[in-house]
Each structure stands twice: as C-alpha cells, then as structure tokens.
Structure 1
Amino acid sequence: MDSDVQRIAVVGLGPMGQALATAFARAGHEVTVWNRTPGKAEGLPVPVSVAGSVSEVVRAADVVVACLIDDAAVRGVVEGVDFEGRPLVNLTSSDPRQAREMARWADVQGFAYLPGVILTPTPMIGTPAGTVLLSGDAGVYDRVASALAALGERIVYLGPDPARASAFDVALLDLFATATNGLLHAFALAGAEGIAPSEFAGFAAGMGGLLPEMATRFAGQIESGEFPGSRSTIASAASSVRHITAAAREHGLDTGMLDAAQGVIEHAVAQGHGADGLGRLATMFGPR
C-alpha cells in the first residue's frame, strides 16, 4: 500500500457523509462505509467497501470519521465498540456545551478522539474551498491531518479546547442565520412596496458586499475597546431601525428580529453610547 494511502471509515451516509466518503476515495484512500439504513452507498460516484456493522467498519480502518445527526447518535453507534486505539474524528454538528460533554464521554470510553465542524456545503467537500475546523487533542490531530487533507485546502486546527471548533461554528451560523433572515425580510418588505425581487437583488448584493470590511474593522474596534462614530453612530442606527420597523408594520410584516435589534440599540443609547460607532453593539448583548 502506498504510504500516503490510508484506510478510512466513514460512519453515517447522509448527504455530508456521502460527500466525505467520495472525497476520501477520490484522493486515493481505501474507504469503507457504514450506515444504519442499508443501501445509502449505492449512489456514491466512487467505489467503496460497505461494512455490515460498526465493529466491522472500525476494524477496516486506520481513521474513523463520523458524521451523524447529533452527538447522541454518535454515542449510540460507537459505544461499546473496541477501537483498539484508532482515532475517531467526529464531524457531527453540536453546540459548545455538547462538544465538551462529548469529549468527556469519549475520554471515559478511552477513545482517541477529535471533534470538528464542516464549514462548507457538500459540493465544496474535496475541493480547494473545503473548510474543516478541528480542536481537541493535538496528538490525535497529528495522526489524522494527512487523511483529512482530502476534504479541502482549509483544514484548520484551533487548539486543545474540544469545544473551540463548535464555538466558531455556532458564531458563524449566527451570522449566516441572521443575515439570511434579514435578506429575506428585506425581499418581503421590498415586495410589499411593489419592488420586484430581480430589481431589488442587485442593490441587496451591494449591501452584502459591505460585510467583509465591516468584519475586519469591527474586530479591531472590539479588541481595542475603542468605537469611533466617525462613519456612523448608534443613535443614527436607532433612527433607521425605527423607520424600517414602521414600514414593515404598515404592511403587516413580522418585526420580531427588528424589535430585538432595536432593543439592543436603545439599550446602548440609554447607557450613553449613542455617539459611538456600531462596533460598540457587540458589547451590549449580555445580561441587563
């Protein structure tokens, strides 16, 4: 066997598990898969071996990669299976608390364990854009890094805290969820005013293009604790959100997300930060 070729097991053949198995196989690794529901491997575009049990798929591998619906499903599948020192890479999504609990459980079980998260959709797995974040035992990461390179060019180890990858994941999903909700709400508001979606889309794309620069600028402000209002102020944002909310309510649109944003902004103004820049709002989401 070529020294660069590894035997990789993929546990779970949902859409992401199928993408993982395909990427590993296309990179030249020997892939064995297992799924609770038989037949999922039949649609794969690459040849793989199919195991009849979790124990069988583990014995066939040098590295075991799990991607299931949640950590409880992973525990239910691998508990009691003798891994004989083989590393278990868990690419199942969870929140940071769950990630820490899973790591403690894996330690009690005696697993060589490494949790991670996948930040790219299935079509990107195995391409240069493929991005996977990992955190936890550095020794386990060193053992599996070469195999995981098949998944993309951004395989990033974030340090020993087993919840760090999950923390990045939920924060990034927070951005995605709220930005997507905001975009769709904007389409609804524009439509209520008779603006065609195709007409609105170009302007919306331009608005979204502001985010990369804002992310970098706000990061510097948050780290320095200085929030200049030279570009825009929280007080002006308060006025803007009131106008948006009024327009949405006039058309009977839901304003829950806008109300929440307005609450944070008004809290900042009440605390004397009306003249500060918008970056200050990142410090205003804690308990009141």
Structure 2
Amino acid sequence: MNEQQNSTTEQMSPVTVIGLGPMGQAMTRTLLTAGHKVTVWNRTAGRAGAVVADGATLAATAREAVEASDLVILSLTDYQAMYDVLDGVGASLAGRTLVNLSSDTPDRTREAATWAAGHNAAFLTGGVMVPAPMIGTEAAFVYYSGRNEVAETHMATLALLGQPRYLGGDPGLAQMMYQAQLTVFLTTLSALMHATAMLGAAGMSAREALPELLSSAESIGDILRAGEENPGAGLDADKHPGDLSTVTMMGATADHIVETSTSLGLDTALPLAVQAHYQQAIKSGHGGDNWTRIIDSIRGPR
C-alpha cells in the first residue's frame, strides 16, 4: 500500500469519541464531515442527540464504544473521569489507541500512559488550544506527546481537529504546554478584569476600557520580539541586561499598582503577587537587571 493509500485508509477509519460536552460534540461533527464513521458515548446519554442526528452512532455502553474503533478520543473533565468511564472495560482496550484530550496535570498524564500500557493500549496526551467553535478550522491547533510511532499512525485523523504540534515522547509534555499556555491566558484575563475594575472606579465604562486594554495585551508579543534575538535565549543563558528596563523600575510600577488598587478598595491578590516577584529580585541584589530576572524566584531554589 502506498503512502497516499495509507493516508486515505487512516482518514476514513472509524473513530470513537467519549465525552460529549461542547468540545466532544465539535470533534464529532468535524470527524463526521471528513467522512469518518464516528461512535459516541457519554455518561449523560441525552447529550448525544444532536451529533446522532448529524450521523454519529450512539453506543449503549462505554465498552461498546471502545470496541467500535481502534482510535478512541476522550474529551472529559479530567483524567479521573477516564478511569471512571473505562473502569471494567479493561480487556477491550488491548491493541487500541487512547488519545486523551482532557485537562489535568502532567504527572497524571504520565500515570495514565502507564495505566494504558498495562492494558496493552497505546496512549497519547493532547492539549487543545482553541475553544469548541474553532475545532476543525485553520486557527485550531493541538499539542500532542507520547510515543512517536503512535502519534504518526493517527496524525492524519487528528489533524482534522486542528494542526498537530508534536512535542516528544514524554506523555506529560503536551499537558505541561497546555498548562503553560493557560497560565498566560488565565493570568491575562484576570489582569484585564483587574484593569477594567480600576478604570471603572474612575468612571470609565468597560465598553470604553477594554479596547484600550486589549491593545496593550496584544502589543506584548511585539515588544518581546522587538530585538533581533529570541528573548528566550537570554533566559536560557541566564543573561538579563538592564539596558532598557530594570527590575527596580518595573518594581516601582508594581508598587504603584498595589497602592492604587488598595486606595480603590479592589482585591489586591493579583498585584501583590506581581509585586512580590520584583521585591524578591531586588532583595536578591538584581535591581539593575532586566525584568526577566524575576524568573529566578518563580523557578524556586535550584
């Protein structure tokens, strides 16, 4: 069989999707549109109605769903939900590939890979980096990690959900990247809400404030990429030249934000956390270094 035939066979192979929240439903519809036969199962069977109407097959049990396909995609609340759903399925997992796109910790994903291997099943960890409505679009991308040969076997199918970005053999890597990305995302959202509350206390509506604040958030990437060198190179080399901005300068700004937030009666948890990073760097004698020096206290003792 040539490469094109292999790709076609993989793309048209049956797929099982377990978990039919908004993400699971979006994945199911994307796979159906591409021509796959899709079997679905959900603990609350009523959620399957819409995708069944679109052409999916509803399995009566989790075991029946697993046995319907060699490729089983899980879109659940967390990894404990996988164990709950697949408890008792055991022998039916042998020879199949589980692709868990649920959120949890890197350590739990590594434990899950070991658990799957104990049932003679292959395992891939995935981190979906877009909301459900964007699944299957050009903007969608998904991080994967686990054994390379397993990833390659099913990548044509998984690519339908979003651009695959394979990180390596450690099952925890994709989840670590997912958590890292969401650290940026969630912290930015909290910062936007805190800043909106600050401006609201001064009489500015959120409708007026957010466009201005978003322009600042969007410029961060441009600022970090402004130099010719990848800013990560300096971090890797432990070089923090303070020629443009220093820990002391940024720390003073952090102090002012805490003072302003306190005077307005706002919650100060976020600005205090930021202030602490700069205070620790100054305490350690790095006030003249670039603001990137705050990574030392975040990393902790090494």
Give the shorter-chain TM-score range. over 0.9
- Is 1:275 the counterpart of 2:285? The answer is no
Specify the SS of the correspondent of 1:151: coil
Q: How far 1:63 moved relative to its partner? A: 0.9
Give the letter aligned to residue 242 of structure 1: D
Return closer, same or farther for 1:99/1:214 CA change in 2, 3 Å cut-off: farther
Q: State the partner residue of 1:167.
A: 176
Superimposed CA distance per residue, residues 177-199 of structure 1 (whole angstroms, 9 cap, x where no aligned partner)? 11111110000011111222233
Give the letter aligned to residue 28 of structure 1: G
Specify the SS of the correspondent of 2:160: helix
> Partners in 2 of 1:230 and 1:28 — Cα distance?
57
- Is 1:226 the counterpart of 2:236? The answer is no
Give the letter aligned to residue 68 of structure 1: L
Specify the SS of the correspondent of 1:88: strand
Are 1:99 and 1:163, in contact at CA under 8 Å, matched by a contact in 2? yes
Give the letter aligned to residue 114 of structure 1: L
- Is 1:69 the counterpart of 2:97? The answer is no
- Is 1:51 the counterpart of 2:64? The answer is no
- Is 1:205 the counterpart of 2:214? The answer is yes
> Partners in 1 of 2:218 and 2:242 — Cα distance?
21
Q: How far 1:110 moved relative to its partner? A: 2.0
TM-score (norm 1): 0.94
Give the letter aligned to residue 37 of structure 2: E
Return closer, same or farther for 1:111/1:214 CA change in 2, 3 Å cut-off: farther
- Is 1:239 the counterpart of 2:252? The answer is yes
The 5 Å alignment of 1:183-194 reads: 183-194=192-203
> Partners in 1 of 2:224 and 2:105 — Cα distance?
23
Specify the SS of the correspondent of 1:94: coil
- Is 1:253 the counterpart of 2:263? The answer is no
Superimposed CA distance per residue, residues 59-88 of structure 1 (whole angstroms, 9 cap, x where no aligned partner)? 221311111111111012123321240111
Specify the SS of the correspondent of 1:33: strand
Q: State the partner residue of 2:135.
A: 125
Give the letter aligned to residue 76 of structure 2: L
Are 1:34 and 1:57, in contact at CA under 8 Å, matched by a contact in 2? yes
Return closer, same or farther for 1:215/1:14 CA change in 2, 3 Å cut-off: farther
Are 1:63 and 1:89, in contact at CA under 8 Å, matched by a contact in 2? yes
Q: How far 1:214 moved relative to its partner? A: 4.4
Q: State the partner residue of 1:27.
A: 34
> Partners in 2 of 1:279 and 1:62 — Cα distance?
47
> Partners in 1 of 2:46 and 2:29 — Cα distance?
15
- Is 1:155 the counterpart of 2:164? The answer is yes
Q: How far 1:121 moved relative to its partner? A: 0.4
- Is 1:146 the counterpart of 2:156? The answer is yes
Superimposed CA distance per residue, residues 161-180 of structure 1 (whole angstroms, 9 cap, x where no aligned partner)? 00000110111111111111
The root-mean-square deviation of aligned C-alpha atoms, in Å, is: 1.7
Superimposed CA distance per residue, residues 215-259 of structure 1 (whole angstroms, 9 cap, x where no aligned partner)? 545323212321122221110111111111111111111111111
Q: How many residues align?
A: 287
> Partners in 2 of 1:218 and 1:283 — Cα distance?
16
> Partners in 2 of 1:215 and 1:231 — Cα distance?
12
Q: State the partner residue of 1:6.
A: 13
Are 1:65 and 1:90, in contact at CA under 8 Å, matched by a contact in 2? yes
Q: How far 1:283 moved relative to its partner? A: 2.3
Are 1:218 and 1:279, in contact at CA under 8 Å, matched by a contact in 2? no
After the TM superposition, which parts of structure 1 deviate over 6 Å for at least 4 consecutive aligned residues?
Answer: none
Are 2:94 and 2:119, in contact at CA under 8 Å, matched by a contact in 1? no
Specify the SS of the correspondent of 1:209: helix
> Partners in 1 of 2:210 and 2:123 — Cα distance?
45
> Partners in 2 of 1:34 and 1:274 — Cα distance?
56
Structure 1 window deviating more from structure 2 (58-67 vs 8-17): it is 58-67
Are 2:148 and 2:169, in contact at CA under 8 Å, matched by a contact in 1? yes
Specify the SS of the correspondent of 1:129: coil
TM-score (norm 2): 0.90
